[in-house]
Amino acid sequence: MKAGLVDPAGRMLESAVYDTPADSTPGTVVTHMTEVIGEVARAAGIGVEMIDAVGVGVPGLIDSPTGVVRACVNLKDWHHVPLRDMLRDATGKPVIVDNDANAAAFGEFTVALQQSPELEHLALITLGTGVGAGVVLNRLVFHGGGGLAGEVGHMVVVPDGHLCACGQRGCLEQYCSATAIIRDATELIATGKRSLLAQTLGTGEAITTRHVFAAAANGDRMADKLIHDAARYLSIACINLCRVIDLQMIVLGGGVANAGEALLAPVRRAFEDQTWGIEGACEPTIGLSQLGNDAGYIGAAALAHAMLSHGA
Ligand SMILES: [Zn+2]
């Protein structure tokens, strides 16, 4: 559980990381969240009464208009929990609840908007253990009909491809998440491919994407191909996404994005190769996350600030 005190300009004044209580029933977690809000305020040297509103990003399926957590990935007994109302009653503050990836996308949007005042449409794709994503359209988080919009990680990029935990086959997540890259690395090594990564595995150390990037930087062809393949599938998803909703910016985050230019350059090149050649058509700016691990709570705070500004 990460908490941050953020000012209206999106500057983080204080932050902290807390363990989720072992008893993760909704009532206990809400009590803990209320304490955490007080602790962060105290650490920043302000009174809790100075906090205008609370924004929450939850890794799960959220009904954002009502702030109800329909299901939560890490908290198994959370089904149809009215988190917004519970936290509002506990804190006396206006509360907004959204999916954590949506909150992070809004955080990246808020910071990018300060640099590009014309920005209206952005997607954040977070390449970690899985692939999380959020889409901001017309300067608002886009939720879609059932609250599941923006799940770029489950865009199908390979017909009859790897089975995904979501039930589909060939999802992007199965080709460019850290889990997918390590799966492919391990499989290739098992077939006897020569690679610096085989030496790493030989020492008994588990392979991480960090090892893959380091090996690629040292000229390892297998590692280089793993990154190249991940970037290729990511490019397909990015182009498809832009052809549907004409984004101005795509932000890549998460551990796999630490590959930096090795990942960005192929995606940019794919847009150059697949250009429409229509006069006035804009291709998106492809960039790396500016907020990193802070995007979730800075974005949740920005959502809360926007809620107050809109008089909700
Ligand atoms: Zn999937």
- How many angstroms separate the alpha carbon of residue 16 from the centre of ligand 1? 32
Number of domains composing the chain: 2
Shared domain for 285 and 299, answered yes or no, is no
- How many angstroms separate the alpha carbon of residue 154 from the centre of ligand 1? 4
Is the residue at 177 inside a domain? yes
For residues 163-183, give the mean pLDDT: 97
Give the bridge partners for 63, in sequence order. Answer: 68
**35: amino acid identity, one letter:** E
Shared domain for 230 and 82, answered yes or no, is no
- How many angstroms separate the alpha carbon of residue 280 from the centre of ligand 1? 34
Burial of 191 by CB count in 10 Å (0-12 exposed, 13-18 middle, 19+ buried)? Answer: exposed
For residues 106-121, give the mean pLDDT: 97
Report residue 132: phi and psi, to 5°.
-100, 155
Shared domain for 146 and 254, answered yes or no, is yes
- How many angstroms separate the alpha carbon of residue 168 from the centre of ligand 1? 5
Shared domain for 137 and 184, answered yes or no, is yes
On the question of pLDDT at 281 being above 90, the answer is no
- How many angstroms separate the alpha carbon of residue 78 from the centre of ligand 1? 22
pLDDT band of 311, cuts 50, 70, 90: low
On the question of pLDDT at 277 being above 80, the answer is no
- How many angstroms separate the alpha carbon of residue 155 from the centre of ligand 1? 7
Sign of CA dihedral 133, 135, 141, 146: negative
- How many angstroms separate the alpha carbon of residue 295 from the centre of ligand 1? 23
Is the residue at 141 inside a domain? yes
- How many angstroms separate the alpha carbon of residue 223 from the centre of ligand 1? 24
pLDDT band of 280, cuts 50, 70, 90: confident
Is the residue at 111 inside a domain? no
Instruction: Name the residue range of residue 89's domain.
Output: 2-105+294-309
> What does the pLDDT read at residue 212?
94
- State the CATH number of the domain containing residue 214: 3.30.420.40
Shared domain for 151 and 256, answered yes or no, is yes
**Mean per-residue pLDDT of the chain:** 94
> What does the pLDDT read at residue 75?
87
C-alpha span between 54 and 60 (Å, rounded): 18
- How many angstroms separate the alpha carbon of residue 277 from the centre of ligand 1? 32
On the question of pLDDT at 126 being above 60, the answer is yes
On the question of pLDDT at 219 being above 70, the answer is yes
Shared domain for 60 and 155, answered yes or no, is no
- How many angstroms separate the alpha carbon of residue 58 from the centre of ligand 1? 19
Residue 57 structure tokens = 């990003």
Is the residue at 112 inside a domain? no
